[in-house]
Amino acid sequence: MLINLFPTTIYRAEMPEYVNWVKSQFKNHRFTEGLTGELEGKVLVHQDTHLASFFVEVNEHVRNFLDDMNCNYDAHFMKTWYAWSTEQKPVPNHHHAPAHMSWTYYLEGTDPLVFTQDSKNEWFPEAFAHVEKNFFNSTAWQENVEPGTLLIFPSHLHHHTYNTGNRGCLAGDILLTNNNLNTEGGLIHPQYWKQF
Ligand SMILES: [Fe+2]
C-alpha cells in the first residue's frame, strides 16, 4: 500500500470571451526585442483601464484558488506582460520567483505548458530518469491549453513549453499580502509600508 502525502496544485479556468479583446490591446504594450515585454519594461498591462473587466475576472479566479486553499490574502497584480513565442524561439524552463502566484492567459496556439518539479520521491539524482513514468515517479506535468485558457500556479513552480507552434499569452505575477496585523505569516499590506 502506498500513501501519497502532499499534492502540487494549479488552477485552471476557461475565459474564451476575452481572447479577441485582450489580443487587440497588445497594440498599447508592444515590444520589439525578445519573447516578452519584460525586457522593454512593458510589464504594467494590469494598469490598462481598457482591460479592467478582464482583470476583475482573473482576480475572481485568484480568489477561488485562495478559497480552495482556505486562505484569505489580498492579491496584488504587480507585473503583467504579453509574451509571444514560436517554434524557433522556445520558452526555456523557468520560474517566477520572487512573486507568490503567477498566471498565464492563452491568446494564441495550443502549445502545452509543462510544469516540472524535482521529485520528492527520488532517492538519488536521476533515479527516475530512465524509467517509464507513472504518478509516483513523474517530475513533469503537461497541461494542454487553447486560446481562452487561464492557468494560475505557485510562482516557484518551474515551467516551459514544447514549442510545437506559435504561442501567445498574457502572463502575470501576483504578490499576496496579509491585511491582518495580528498574524505573523506573510507580507503585510503595502498600505502600512513606508519608504525613506
Ligand atoms: Fe513563465
Which class is 11-178 in CATH?
Answer: mainly beta
Closest CA to 180 of 192, 171, 170, 172: 192
Q: Which of 129-133, 152-156, 184-188 has the lowest mean pLDDT?
A: 184-188
Please give, one letter per residue, the 3-state secondary structure of 144-180: CCCCCEEEEEECCCEEEECCCCCEEEEEEEEEEEECC
pLDDT the model gives residue 181? 86
Per-residue pLDDT tens over the stretch 112-131: 999 999 999 999 999 999 99
- Tell me, in angstroms, the distance from the centre of ligand 1 to residue 1's CA: 37
Q: What is the pLDDT of residues 80-115, one digit of tens each?
A: 999 998 888 778 899 999 899 999 999 999 999 999
Domain boundaries, the chain: 11-178
pLDDT at 166: 86
Ligand 1 centroid, distance to 14 Cα (angstroms): 19
CA of 183 to the centre of ligand 1 (A): 31
Q: Ligand 1 centre from 181 Cα, in Å? A: 32
What does the block give as the cell for 182? 495580528
User: Is the pTM value of this prediction over 0.85?
Assistant: yes
A 10 A CB-CB count for 141 gives: 15
Q: What is the pLDDT of residues 3-45, one digit of tens each?
A: 999 999 999 999 999 999 999 999 999 988 778 888 889 999 9
